[in-house]
Amino acid sequence: MKFIGIFLYVFWLLLLLFRYANIPKKTSFSYKRLFFGSLSWYRNIRNLTLLIALFIVELFLPLKSLYLLFLITGIVIIAICINNLRVRIGRPLPTMSVLLLGLVVSGISGIFVFSL
């Protein structure tokens, strides 16, 4: 079951990256639309995939592996934000706040990954 959870979570990350590559890069860029889509949460297959993956991962994965997944997710968020700042996509304030969130998630999960 833990491999199914990891597969679904990595699949969600890949869907996120493909969505980021295909979303229009203009001033109306929205992180909400990027991460969760424009449909209702229960109609969006990406959100349901994320919920199922997080449920399985929380139940069956060891704690160190769980924090490693969160570290990878934080790094992906940081890379997206740095690219948005570099290319000047969207407004800078939401980008900086999401970048800060990515740094916090990566920092906390990195502490747990490398100290456990």
pLDDT in tens, 61-94: 999 999 999 999 999 999 999 999 998 888 889 9
At 30 the pLDDT is: 83
Residue 33 pLDDT exceeds 90: no
Residue 86 DSSP SS3: helix
- The mean predicted confidence, pLDDT, of the chain is 89
Phi, psi (deg, nearest 5) at residue 37: 85, 180
CA angle 98, 49, 24 (to 5 degrees): 50
User: What is the value of pTM for the model shown?
Assistant: 0.86
Residue 41 pLDDT exceeds 80: no
34-40: list long-range contacts, CB under 8 Å, 24+ apart.
34/80
Domain parsing of the chain, residue ranges: 2-115
CA distance 107 to 86: 22
